[in-house]
């Protein structure tokens, strides 16, 4: 038996909208989560630490990066395994450019959506 898990509606809450922008090539491969992951890798120089900060399994983080790289045809991360200084990851120049473009696209789309929302509500 499937349970109905509807959230209770708060009649006093203001009306809002929700919008998530994702990039697709047949299947979805890039969105807010992957963008956040890349930003955290830039900050920490570690996919493992970035995944931990997002409360995401390292294997899942690795998988979403791999799917995005396959869809794009270029690497998003340069990985360095263990050694004297330990391992780490760095965002490639192509990855930085993709992230920059995605964030600008997201910013402009939200700005337009805000205007449209205000116009109608």
CA–CA distance, 41 with 44 (Å, rounded to integer):
5
Residue 115 lies in a domain: yes
By C-alpha distance, which of 77, 83, 76, 90 is closest to 45? 90
Range of the domain at 35: 29-120
Q: Is residue 11 part of a domain?
A: no
Q: What is the pLDDT of residue 87?
A: 73
> Which pLDDT score, from 0 to 100, does residue 82 have?
66
Residue 79 lies in a domain: yes
Residue 88 inside a domain? The answer is yes
The predicted pLDDT at position 83 comes to 55
Question: 6 is written with which tokens?
Answer: 């509807």
Q: What is the 3-state secondary structure (H, E, C) of the chain?
A: CCCCCCCCCCCCCCCCCCCCCCEEECEEEECHHHHHHHHHHHHHCCHHHHHHHCCCCHHHHHHHHHHHHHHHCCCCEEEECCCCCCCEEEECHHHHHHHHHHHHHHHHHHHHHHHHHHHHC
Residue 78 inside a domain? The answer is yes
Q: Is 23 within 8 Å of 30 (Cβ atoms)?
A: yes
Specify the number of domains making up the chain.
Answer: 1
Closest CA to 61 of 92, 39, 84, 80: 39
Per-block average pLDDT, block size 10, for the chain (121 residues)?
A: 68 91 95 97 95 97 97 94 73 98 97 96 94
Residue 47 lies in a domain: yes
Return all residues near 5 (Cβ < 8 A) that are at least 6 apart. none
CATH code where residue 106 lies: 1.10.10.10
Tell me if 49 is assigned to some domain: yes
Residue with tokens 């630490």: 49
């Amino acid at each position: 038996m499937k349970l109905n898990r509807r959230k209770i509606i708060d009649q006093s809450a203001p009306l809002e909208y929700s919008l998530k922008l994702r990039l697709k090539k047949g299947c979805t491969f890039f969105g807010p989560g992957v963008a956040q992951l890349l930003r955290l890798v830039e900050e920490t120089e570690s996919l493992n630490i970035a995944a931990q900060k997002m409360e995401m399994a390292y294997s899942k983080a690795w998988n979403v990066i791999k799917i995005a790289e396959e869809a794009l045809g270029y690497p998003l991360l340069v990985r360095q395994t263990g050694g004297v200084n330990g391992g780490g990851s760095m965002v490639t120049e192509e990855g930085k450019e993709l992230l920059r473009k995605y964030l600008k696209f997201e910013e402009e789309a939200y700005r337009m959506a805000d205007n449209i929302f205000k116009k109608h509500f």
